[in-house]
Amino acid sequence: MACEVLEMIAEELDMGARDIVSSFIQDKKSNSCIRVNHYPPCPDLQALTGRTLIGFGEHTDPQLISVLRSNNASGLQICNIDGSWLSVPSDHTTFFFNVGDSLQVITNGRFRSVKHKVLADSFKSRLSMIYFGGLPLSEKITPLSSVMEEGEESLYKEFTWPEYKKSTYKTREISHFFLIELLFLFYIF
Ligand SMILES: O=C(O)CCC(=O)C(=O)O
Ligand SMILES: [Fe+2]
């Protein structure tokens, strides 16, 4: 499914070969993964702080594309162009596709990665499973020549995929860590 979507994108952008982007995630060395997230309800902690708790802090996915499926518990929100947050309706029968930072760069900004976050629900447990399709570790993240118009310049500094991934995961650990620490404190007291 992720390949099919990437192929439609390549076609839409007139990139020549239909599989020019999807071949990255089909490569045996593609650095792709699947993550399962569980957000337990924490009504007591929510009542204690009087705030909606963040289950997963705001971020963009660093890979090319993410394909998400969740149970029927809501919580996922995406950031609108005006900075407001929109809730993604939860539906266990649908897939949610997210453009990642790498796709933004290789298309030189024609497709934009979207900031998103997850709010923890007071009563319902959320379970999500996401496939992240990433470039092989040997690849540089830089606009593909087939997307560039004559004279167009790259909007981005060039990174290798391992360099970029390392820097994004460093910032993300903070929000996970914060939640774990909070839960830990709550269970102690
Ligand atoms: O759990 C979700 O709904 C989204 C999680 C997410 O954004 C991620 O794992 O990168
Ligand atoms: Fe994400």
- Per-residue pLDDT, averaged over 18-25, amounts to 96
- Per-residue pLDDT, averaged over 90-117, amounts to 96
Catalytic (active site) residue 126: yes
Neighbouring residues of 180: CB distance < 8 A, sequence distance ≥ 6: none
Sequence letter at residue 114: V
Distance CA 142, CA 74 (A): 35
* Residue 182, pLDDT score: 44
Alpha-carbon Rg for the chain, nearest whole angstrom, is 18
Tell me the ipTM for this assembly. Answer: 0.99
Question: In testing the pocket of ligand 1, which one of 32, 34, 37 has its CB within 8 Å of the most ligand atoms?
Answer: 37
- Per-residue pLDDT, averaged over 53-65, amounts to 94
- Per-residue pLDDT, averaged over 66-92, amounts to 96
Task: Give the tokens for residue 67.
Answer: 């394909």
- Per-residue pLDDT, averaged over 29-56, amounts to 88
* Residue 133, pLDDT score: 97
Say whether pLDDT at 138 is over 70: yes
Which tops the pLDDT comparison, 59 or 51? 59
- Per-residue pLDDT, averaged over 178-187, amounts to 44
* Residue 172, pLDDT score: 58
* Residue 126, pLDDT score: 95
What's the pLDDT tens digit per position in 66-76? 999 999 999 99
Say whether pLDDT at 186 is over 60: no
Average pLDDT over the chain, rounded to whole?
89
Residues with CB under 6 A from ligand 1: 35, 37, 56, 61, 68, 70, 76, 116, 118, 128, 130
Atom of ligand 1 nearest to the CA of 117: 7
Which tops the pLDDT comparison, 188 or 111? 111
Task: Give the tokens for residue 32.
Answer: 């792709």
Instruction: Supply φ then ψ for residue 49, to 5 degrees.
Output: -90, -20
Atom of ligand 1 nearest to the CA of 116: 7
